[in-house]
Amino acid sequence: MCGIAGYFQIEGKARPDKELLGRMINIIRHRGPDEFGAFFDDKCALGQARLSIIDLSTGSQPLSNEDGTLWITFNGEIYNYVELRPELERLGHRFRTNSDTEVIIHAYEQWGKGCLNRFNGQWAFAIYDKKRGTLFMSRDRLGVRPIFYATHGGRFYFASEIKSIFCDPNFPRTLDHKGLDEIFTWWTTAPPRTAFMGINELEPGAYLEINDNKIKINRYWQMDFPETYDRERSLDSWAEELHALLVDSVRLRLRADVPVGAYLSGGLDSSATTSLIKNFTANRIETFSIAFHDKAYDESSYQKQVAEFLGTNHHQIQCGYRDIAENFPAVIWHTERPILRTAATPLYMLSGLVRKNDFKVVLTGEGSDEILGGYDIFKETMIRWLWAKQPDSVCRPLLLQKLYPTLPLSANKARFYLETFYKAGLSEIDKYYFSHIPRINTTTKIKDYFITGIKHELADYDSLKSFEPYIPENFSRWHQLARAQYLEARSLLSGYLLSSQGDRVTAGHSVEGRFPFLDHRVVELGTRIPPWHKILGLKEKLVLKKAMRGELPPEITARVKQPYMAPDSNSFVQPDSPAYVAEMLSEEMLRRFGVFEPGFVQKLHEKCRSLSHVHLSFKDNMSFIGILSTQLLIDKYIEHFKPVKSLGRDSFKVWQDHSSAQ
């Protein structure tokens, strides 16, 4: 993992802005503090903040091909670079380093954009072709690594994080209210939109080309589900193939010239990942986890059980309300967007624990739920789809009570609540977002707090259609579970989990997360596995539990999934809560920032304070966190954004100045 940044002159040539590039790299040095590199000519500037993981001695960037006509700056890992290099050497390419970066540049030189289909990894990179005067950018299939871009004043900017682009003092910093609308619907924006006007995000599985001053974007990959499934193939057969592929995925993701650790939440996914590491090392595995003071969220007993079973050297960080409140502003600085839950904050603290123990790389279990059917939203979808076939049925909605048997209400009240909540949108079974209607209905309540002017501005904007352009033509012919999985992966996985709870919080402490379940081969296998081998009745991830049987304690493989969550509004309404909370939610600040109606927000704040001894509804919690995080975002990026000092030439290990103004 690294940080990349740069610009490309779309209109003519200009003197290299070396001070600007120095600021763009310095502000994201947390992504790669080990060394810095820069390339300049009169057309393009490429910058790099490197986290040294592969080829520690000669893998510095930016890097060129043999004749210096192609230059690359790269964030991420190409795990199969070891296999690709001999093929490229046989085709006549000569290597100066042992890095995966150099494999990319030669692969692009050999196969052009077709090289993307050969890579197994997680990446965002930019390649400048000096001879042709073009720029090529790409992002990995699932969107593990981010890349943002913008055009302003005849110049195309790009960077791993938005804050780098804002280092140009002439670039306007303004909230995109349509972006807020999408976040308060889907938890994320639909690319290319972001939370800021004029800032775009390259979508996962896509590449961007600038040629003849024209910007073109195309997809090279997306998830695809079959319309029919193999009904003859057994669960055992699928589980065996999945296990073999996961073993190989873990093998590739252990490739590093530094030690690799693992997150261990106590759930099936991270336990499976950690267990599979044991195939490739005789040393004790270093594992890391979070324990919550609030027992409603704590899974430490399961973490301890798996750590003892696998014999890991386990590290744990304790997280209380005050910890979440104190770290929350730093998290918003890194996420660069409003968030609706505090779950990113303990993960930010966890990556700090990893770094404190001198680790730069961790394997994690993200992606398993989306690919193999682990979330409650998928089981809810199956029940609601069945119910929608007979909306007057008395028996079918009773399945909801079996899904949520511990709801803290009496039997009659629980039944009424569940039926009322999940019946919403039951007649919209033909909508592409049918599976997500209950979640959307909860999330969109935040928009009730918008000031009247923003409500009027957004009156004709339908954020429900945001992801419609990404829906495949044959989507309606897929199984209902496949549709829900696709939409979850397209929206929440790449836009929220791999961003706000993934790259951004690990990068905040200079740590790289790796995701065996998001190997594209595992994902493509997962799409082919029949729905009844993923969810059977109300039992989730059947095929993964079968694949890992015997390698983990039966209590872990048989355990019902506990969604990873953290205390939300309770963290900010304690007697010792930091002063910024009251300041950001004060009438003065709410009026100054001009997004939320002060009277409504203050009533919500008072409700949260008065009920701090209980767990509030999802609606109130998400509203509180969404409002507070938006206020912090405005404060940090619009009101008080200050570009850091530029790195001087002496700070760069690589300094390639090919400009006429040397």
Catalytic positions: 2
Round the CA-based radius of gyration of the chain to a whole number and report it.
25
Structure tokens at 571: 């963290």
Distance CA 640, CA 599 (A): 25
Distance CA 345, CA 321 (A): 11
Distance CA 435, CA 482 (A): 10
Which residue type occupies 620? D
Which residues are within 8 A (CB) of 565 and not within 5 positions of it... i.e. 6 or more apart?
297, 341, 343
Neighbours of 411 (CB within 10 A): 9
Closest CA to 516 of 310, 277, 298, 328: 277
Distance CA 586, CA 582 (A): 6
* Phi-psi label, residue 147: left if phi above 0, alpha if psi -120 to 50, beta otherwise: beta
Distance CA 535, CA 401 (A): 17
Provide long-range contacts, Cβ within 8 A and 24+ apart, for 167-175.
167/20, 167/23, 167/24, 167/27, 167/643, 167/644, 168/20, 169/643, 171/198, 172/197, 172/198, 173/637, 173/638, 173/641, 174/198, 174/638, 175/595, 175/633, 175/634, 175/638
First to last CA, the chain: 30
Q: Give the CA distances from residue 404 to residues 398, 417, 536, 541, in Å, rounded to whole numbers and listed in that order.
A: 10, 11, 16, 18
